[in-house]
């Protein structure tokens, strides 16, 4: 892992993003809205079929329970990239788009000239964490780099027993010298709190900083980079430092991350309850963990596309979301959003709306893989397609830990944001939700870091 990569993620990227790359506002100026003057007429703006959206959301969320048999040795990976859970999600989406009467097809993800490694994945085929002999719910990041610890082979099983747990020393090198001199040096894991997404951060009480833009590009990037920076300090001591435990601020759930080439040390994610159990008696706590990983260069994954032809078929509007998830139910990230894409398609068909431009309703695979695999494949194989707009629904209903629920309308085109602003006023969004303060328009120069990224 290169030090400059960590420093960029920890310091440079957030600062540049905050100063140069975006704007957050609760309203769009009249000047921008006049890019699309007048009211939007001709449609009733009736509510989408919420029962339909709920049922699709439920089916996608339940895949982690219906498609895996943990008692038979399965690792329940939700709808993760290339898993049978993701393939099942594609089947559900295809089935429903077809039933709605859309022209529906799938595209298998393959390597392209622009993105030759789209089917490459570090698969986890064994994972286990025990605290004093008791197995706990956990996730361990696979290691994408060759080190002495994995015998310079990516296909490897990390298997450690009876590891000591230590608090993070201020300077790892000094700690190692002290332990060697005292004759007490033995293999260990370090435990620290996982601060990613931690709600009560230093800036959370500053009103004008409490917005998507600052939280994502500033706070979240710095929170996520801190353990990476700390792990970099341990890289010279992998013979003894076998892993870093990150315990969550949530009592019953834990985070997970796909760090790829950024870490050489396994990151072990556990919940707050298990973390506190360790801390209460850290001197007498011992940890065992196993991580089996396999480098797969032929991942089987598909995009699902439903199409309504427009009166002008030379241009395309894409309405999309991700069909994959992390190793969880993936309800808010993003089964709800995917179900809403289908709900919008249902509305168009039931209202007999013929759009001006061809509309494609797409479930992209592999977004959570970190490289938007399905979106990258589509963008690189449809370069001649004139895509005039892309509307990506993401994390609808996500992070509802306060009564304040914010709708973030994010785009890289101020004119389009102006049209959305006009549309929301015409449908009386503020009246329907009884608030206008929790609507944020976010202009990002490079767009949102998700499926739209490859289309910039």
Query: Strands 22-25 and 439-444, how do they pair?
Result: antiparallel
Q: What is the pLDDT of residue 20?
A: 44
List, for the chain, all residue ranges whose pLDDT scores fall below the cut of 50: 1, 7, 9-10, 12-13, 15-20, 29-40
Q: What is the pLDDT of residue 19?
A: 44
pTM higher than 0.85 for the full model?
yes
Q: What is the pLDDT of residue 408?
A: 84
CA angle (341, 343, 349) in 5-degree steps: 110
- Please give the DSSP secondary-structure letter assigned to residue 354: -
Helix pair angle (172-182, 221-234), 10° resolution: 40
Q: What is the pLDDT of residue 17?
A: 47
User: Alpha-carbon distance 366 to 121, whole Å?
Assistant: 10
H or E segment at 346?
helix 336-350
What DSSP letter does each residue of 318-344 carry, written as one string?
Answer: EEEEE---SSS--IIIIIHHHHHHHHH
| CB 426, CB 45: distance < 8 Å | yes
| CB 333, CB 59: distance < 8 Å | no
Q: What is the pLDDT of residue 221?
A: 76
Token pair, residue 33, equals 């809205």
Q: Which neighbouring-strand residues pair with 103?
A: 307
Tens-place pLDDT, residues 204-221: 677 667 667 777 777 777
Classify domain 121-296 by CATH number.
3.50.30.30
List strands edge to edge, sheet with 286-296. 134-135, 121-131, 286-296, 156-166, 188-193, 241-247, 267-270, 139-140
Helix pair angle (50-61, 336-350), 10° resolution: 140
- Please give the DSSP secondary-structure letter assigned to residue 394: -
Q: What is the pLDDT of residue 16?
A: 46
Q: What is the pLDDT of residue 401?
A: 58
Q: Which neighbouring-strand residues pair with 261?
A: none
Token pair, residue 286, equals 């011992």
Q: What is the pLDDT of residue 174?
A: 95
Q: What is the pLDDT of residue 260?
A: 83
* Cis? peptide before 406, omega within 30° of 0: no
């Amino acid at each position: 892992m290169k030090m400059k990569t960590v420093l960029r993620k920890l310091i440079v990227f957030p600062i540049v993003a905050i100063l140069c790359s975006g704007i957050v506002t609760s309203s769009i100026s009249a000047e921008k809205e006049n890019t699309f003057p007048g009211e939007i007429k001709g449609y009733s703006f009736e509510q989408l079929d919420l029962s339909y959206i709920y049922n699709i959301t439920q089916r996608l969320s339940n895949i982690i329970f219906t498609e895996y048999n943990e008692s038979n040795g399965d690792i329940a990976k939700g709808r993760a990239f290339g898993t049978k859970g993701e393939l099942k999600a594609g089947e559900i989406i295809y089935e429903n788009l077809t039933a709605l009467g859309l022209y529906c097809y799938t595209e298998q993800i393959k390597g392209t000239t622009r993105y030759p490694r789209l089917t490459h994945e570090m698969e986890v085929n064994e994972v286990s964490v025990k605290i004093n002999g008791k197995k706990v719910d956990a996730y361990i990041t696979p290691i994408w780099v060759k080190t002495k610890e994995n015998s310079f082979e990516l296909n490897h099983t990390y298997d450690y027993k009876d590891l000591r747990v230590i608090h993070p020393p201020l300077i790892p090198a000094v700690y190692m010298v002290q332990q060697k001199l005292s004759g007490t040096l033995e293999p260990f894991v370090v435990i620290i709190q996982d601060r990613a997404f931690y709600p009560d951060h230093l800036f959370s009480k500053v009103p004008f900083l409490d917005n998507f833009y600052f939280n994502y590009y500033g706070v979240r990037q710095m929170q996520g980079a801190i353990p990476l920076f700390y792990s970099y300090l341990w890289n010279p001591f992998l013979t003894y430092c076998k892993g870093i435990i990150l315990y969550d601020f949530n009592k019953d759930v834990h985070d997970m991350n796909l760090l790829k080439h950024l870490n050489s040390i396994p990151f072990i994610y556990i919940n707050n309850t298990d973390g506190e159990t360790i801390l209460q008696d850290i001197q007498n706590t011992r940890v065992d963990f196993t991580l089996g990983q396999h480098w797969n260069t032929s991942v089987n994954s598909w995009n699902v596309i439903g199409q309504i032809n427009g009166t002008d078929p030379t241009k395309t509007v894409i309405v999309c979301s991700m069909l994959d998830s992390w190793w969880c139910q993936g309800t808010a990230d993003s089964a709800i959003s995917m179900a809403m894409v289908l709900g919008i398609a249902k509305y168009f068909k039931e209202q007999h709306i013929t759009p001006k431009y061809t509309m494609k309703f797409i479930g992209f695979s592999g977004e959570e893989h970190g490289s938007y695999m399905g979106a990258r494949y589509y963008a690189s194989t449809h370069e001649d397609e004139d895509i005039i707009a892309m509307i990506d629904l993401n994390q609808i209903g996500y992070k509802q830990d306060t009564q304040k629920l914010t709708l973030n309308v994010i785009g890289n085109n101020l004119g389009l944001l102006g049209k959305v602003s006009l549309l929301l006023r015409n449908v009386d969004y503020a009246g329907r939700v009884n608030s206008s303060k929790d609507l944020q328009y976010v202009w990002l120069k490079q767009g949102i870091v998700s499926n739209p990224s490859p289309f910039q």
